[in-house]
Amino acid sequence: MKKVLILMELNAAQRERLEAAGAGAELSFSRPDRVTEKEIQEANVIIGLPKAEMIKASENLELLQLESAGTDAYIAHGVLSEKTLLTNATGAYSQAVAEHALALTLMLQKKLHLYRDEQRAARWKDRGTVSSLRGAIVAVVGLGDIGGYYARLVKALGAYVIGVKRRPGPCPEYAHELMLTEQLDQVLPRADVIMSVLPNTAATRYIYTLDSFRLMKDSAIFINCGRGNAVSAGTLYEALSQGMIAAAGIDVAETEPLPEDSPLWALENLVITPHVSGSHHLPETVERIVDICAGNLSAYLSGGKLKNIVDFATGYGK
């Protein structure tokens, strides 16, 4: 009998769905901060986010189903055995992260962050002209589930969407153009909004350099809801403080939590949220995570096809 260890906070209905999916297996429930190394080492299937250092390439572990889309900690050498399958929760976070990115976009375009500052200072002050998504060129860098959802939203509001992804393919209906990541320097000078939702891989770390920001319009808005190490804190500070771009909104940072002494905090043209867009704040996100986990658990136990299998070499789905 397969031992299935579930490390997620669940309500009764969600727990019942996983129990039904795991019928015929031995299920146990815990939390990452309570589970023992022995429990992890004995499990054949783990669902959730165990501490990577506790897995130690367990030979018993056949499947690790993450409740996150990010896989950074688990594709590092020595964490998982070569025979362990890794699946993630890609698709669960698209609505939450895309809506957060859209909110940041509109906030910066309409200067709501500046008006909030004026409110706190009790000043009735007009901050001047604003911009719109209608007619704007929006580059979505990382056209996966989240990027695609965001692209649909901004296209519906009248934007011209350029999708940027690593592999060639047909242009999806929610984009007007499709470009490759290697063509990013051709896209940046055209865009009024750059929304980045790249994962943490060797190819995407520090992909945005000072030269990248110099290519952008000085009126451009940069949004990052992917991974913080796509751009260094120093580069972002220089780009914003020197007016290379108009404004930025970030839900992620190179170092998290962002240090209290970071100069980024003081920038008027930067909005910072503490990596909350992809969390569980939106109830629909948790429901989608449970759906993915239950589906993969049932498929694995019955010999079916798994969704969201991760390629260890790239960190992307296979």
Residues 6 or more apart whose CB falls under 8 angstroms from that of 12 comprise none
If you count DSSP H runs as helices and E runs as strands, how many of each does the chain have, helices first? 10, 12
Q: Which of 86-90, 168-172, 197-201, 211-215 has the lowest mean pLDDT?
A: 197-201
* Distance from C-alpha of 251 to C-alpha of 276, rounded to nearest angstrom: 7
pLDDT on residue 317: 76
State the pLDDT confidence band at 44, using cuts at 50, 70 and 90.
Answer: very high
Domains belonging to the chain, first-starting first, are 3-92+282-302 (3.40.50.720), 94-272 (3.40.50.720)
pLDDT above 90: percentage of residues in the chain:
95
Residue 3 has pLDDT above 80, yes or no: yes
State the pLDDT confidence band at 32, using cuts at 50, 70 and 90.
Answer: very high
Rounded-to-5 percentages of helix, strand, coil across the chain: 35, 15, 50
Residue 284 has pLDDT above 90, yes or no: yes
Residue 23 has pLDDT above 90, yes or no: yes
pLDDT on residue 259: 98
Residue 159 has pLDDT above 80, yes or no: yes
pLDDT on residue 314: 75
Residue 150 has pLDDT above 90, yes or no: yes
Residue 260 has pLDDT above 80, yes or no: yes
Mean pLDDT calculated for residue range 239-261? 98
| Helices of type H across 70-199 | 94-109, 112-120, 145-156, 184-187
pLDDT on residue 14: 97
**Cβ–Cβ < 8 Å for 165, 180:** yes
pLDDT on residue 315: 74
Q: Over the Cα atoms of the chain, what is R_g?
A: 21
* Distance from C-alpha of 98 to C-alpha of 104, rounded to nearest angstrom: 10
Full-model pTM: 0.93
The average confidence (pLDDT) of the chain is: 96
pLDDT on residue 316: 74
Torsion of CA 187, 247, 250, 242, to 10 degrees: 90
Report how far apart, in Å, the C-alpha atoms of 11 and of each of 8, 28, 148, 284 are.
Answer: 10, 15, 30, 13
H/E run at residue 298: helix 283-302
pLDDT on residue 238: 98
Residues 6 or more apart whose CB falls under 8 angstroms from that of 188 comprise 139, 194, 212, 215, 216
Q: Which of 189-203, 218-232, 255-269, 303-317 has the lowest mean pLDDT?
A: 303-317
State the pLDDT confidence band at 313, using cuts at 50, 70 and 90.
Answer: confident
